[in-house]
Structures are given as structure tokens and as C-alpha cells.
Amino acid sequence: MTHFPIRTKRLLLRDFRADDFDAIHEYAVDEAVVRFMDWGPNTPQQTQEALDRWFAEQAQVVRLGVNLAIEVVAERRLIGSIRMDYQGKETADLGYSLHSGYWRQGYGSEAAAAMLELGFERFGLHRIWATCDVGNAGSYGVMEKIGMRREGTFLQDTQVKGRWRDTHLYAVLAQEWAARRGPPV
């Protein structure tokens, strides 16, 4: 069964193409976007390597990782990316980044909610989780808006760009997702 592209109200979540390089690199060099990420700001070579890695994943017959371009349909413009990686035992984790010119317009939540729907309703997952820096209000704002719960905070559990990071863990279970969605119509 083909699951992609995914169409939401305003977005198209689709596979990456070779001509996406410029749009990806534009946000991958932005200090504000990469502030909490373990990558970036990217050199052109690093962006190309990421794109090549995503092409290789896209070509796999069984995709254990889904990494999709986020395109604003009305503008036909790539504004970011979103991924969901299968972690075994019917669980997956979620991650996303958007061009800073498109923040605070609900695009992150719209794309992330579509990934939860994909994970629970198409892939039959049991639990989807995500982590972020405790200072990344945009990231956990998205998680809370789409119904994920904060399960805990880990102190200095990982190093990002040479500094120990405190991390929030968020998750949502299939039954919580279903309850939030209401009965099928």
C-alpha cells in the first residue's frame, strides 16, 4: 500500500526530490532553526549528504524510517521536514524542523498530527514518542497541541553541540489518540 504523499488541510508531506536542495539548505543554515538540533548550521556538502541519505531511505522496500518534505500547497514551497522512525515493539519517535519564516502558523502541529494519524491508523503503532531540549518551547508546544503528554524530564542525558542538555520526553498511546479523535464516523 502506498502511504505517501499525505495531504493535510494546507500541507503536502511528500518524498524528497533532487531539486529540493536549495529550499532545504535555506533553513539548514539558519541558526534559529538549528539551535536545539544535533546538526547544523550545515555546509552545502552536509545538506547534500542528508538529502542523499533520505533518498537511500526512500528507496527501501520496507521503510523503517519515514522522512518527508513539508510543502505548503498554496505556495508549492518546501518549508521543512518531518520524520518518524520505527523503534521496534510497535513504537516510533517523531522529529521535525521548519523554515523560521513559517513558524507560529500551526504548520508544525498540522504536519505532526498527520504523522500520528499515519503511525496509529495506517501502521498500527502502539506508542509514539518525541524528545526535545527543555528550552525548546516551539517543539514541546507542538507535542502538547497534538495530544502528547510530558512523561518526564531527563537531566543532562545527552550532549548537543558540546553542551549537556536537559530533555523532555513526550508520548501518546494509540488509545489516547483514538479517544481524542472520537469514534470513527
Ligand X SMILES: CC(C)(COP(=O)(O)OP(=O)(O)OC[C@H]1O[C@@H](n2cnc3c(N)ncnc32)[C@H](O)[C@@H]1OP(=O)(O)O)[C@@H](O)C(=O)NCCC(=O)NCCS
Q: CA 64, CA 118: separation in Å to the nearest integer?
A: 13
For residues 6 and 114, the answer to whether their CB atoms sit within 8 Å is yes
Minimum separation from the CB atom of position 90 to ligand X (A): 22
Contact pick of 33, 50, 51, 114 for ligand X (by CB under 6 A): 33
Q: CA 99, CA 78: separation in Å to the nearest integer?
A: 9
Minimum separation from the CB atom of position 114 to ligand X (A): 12
Residues 93-132 that bind ligand X (CB under 6 A): 95-98, 103-109, 132
Nearer to ligand X, 35 or 183 (CB): 35
Nearer to ligand X, 4 or 36 (CB): 36
Minimum separation from the CB atom of position 105 to ligand X (A): 6
Binding status of residue 147 toward ligand X by CB under 6 A: no
3-state secondary structure of 112: helix
3-state secondary structure of 111: helix
Minimum separation from the CB atom of position 109 to ligand X (A): 3
Minimum separation from the CB atom of position 4 to ligand X (A): 20
Binding status of residue 8 toward ligand X by CB under 6 A: no
Contact pick of 28, 51, 136, 165 for ligand X (by CB under 6 A): 136
Q: CA 146, CA 106: separation in Å to the nearest integer?
A: 11
What are the Cα distances from residue 59, in Å, to 10, 52, 115? 27, 11, 20
Q: Which amino acid is at 52?
A: D
3-state secondary structure of 125: coil
Binding status of residue 141 toward ligand X by CB under 6 A: yes
Minimum separation from the CB atom of position 43 to ligand X (A): 18
For residues 167 and 132, the answer to whether their CB atoms sit within 8 Å is yes
Nearer to ligand X, 22 or 38 (CB): 38
Compute and round to an integer the Cα radius of gyration of the chain.
16
Binding interface with ligand X (CB under 6 A):
33, 36-37, 95-98, 103-109, 132, 136-139, 141-142, 145
